[in-house]
Amino acid sequence: MESESKKTPTWVWVVVGIVGLFVLVCVLLIGSGIYMFRQHVQTETASTQDVQDEFEQARKRFAGQQPLVEIRASDRQVLVHKPPEEAERRTNLQSIRVLAYDPRQGRLVRVDVPVWLARMVMSDRGGSGRRRITIGGDNIEFDAGNLTFEDVERHGPGLIVDVDDGQGSQVLVWAE
């Protein structure tokens, strides 16, 4: 009789199992996020000349192309050149690449964002259509006119953003 009263109820084991599974899933998600970030973001210290050469090489690939989002250095006005709605979507894009340089920190950052993640980030759940770009420590917020990832697909592989603020900060974003 005494051994039956000390037996742990089944529901306690079920709760402990569910909590343990939840903790394991959280650890796996955090670990996967850290691994993914380390695989897709590279940061290095670089000289101004090396940076200029790298940006020149990258820009040569897109000579004559109009970027999807244009930011005028003179007045920081943002222009979005949305492709027509009837333009064919190129769903074979693999990644969105970013090359950014901040001369104050002397850091060159390369980011390779998988398309599925870029699609998720660009979804505007709030419906505001507002976007923000940070260049040289300055935030530029603009009305993207409901710019969507489908617009990026219609734009196709090529230049998305090309910004040189004239003070050394540069950002290139393109789709491959």
CB 51 within 8 A of CB 145: no
| CB-CB neighbours of 60 under 10 Å | 8
49 is written with which tokens? 């000349």
Q: Could you tell me if residue 96 is inside a domain?
A: yes
Q: Could you tell me if residue 36 is inside a domain?
A: no
Q: Could you tell me if residue 16 is inside a domain?
A: no
Q: What is the Cα gyration radius of the chain?
A: 23
172 is written with which tokens? 């290139």
Strands 41-45 and 130-135: unpaired
What DSSP string runs through 38-71? Answer: HHHEEEEE--HHHHHHHHHHHHHTTTTPPPSEEE
Q: Could you tell me if residue 2 is inside a domain?
A: no
Domain extent for 63: 42-175
Please, which residues have CB within 8 angstroms of residue 33's CB and are 6 or more apart in sequence? none
User: Count of domains in the chain?
Assistant: 1
Q: pLDDT of 39-83, one tens digit each?
A: 778 888 888 888 889 999 999 999 888 898 887 766 667 778 888
Q: pLDDT of 91-146, one tens digit each?
A: 789 998 999 898 888 889 898 888 887 777 766 555 454 555 555 555 555 555 56
Quote the pTM value: 0.70
Angle at 165 between CA 84 and CA 137, to 5 degrees: 100
Q: Could you tell me if residue 144 is inside a domain?
A: yes
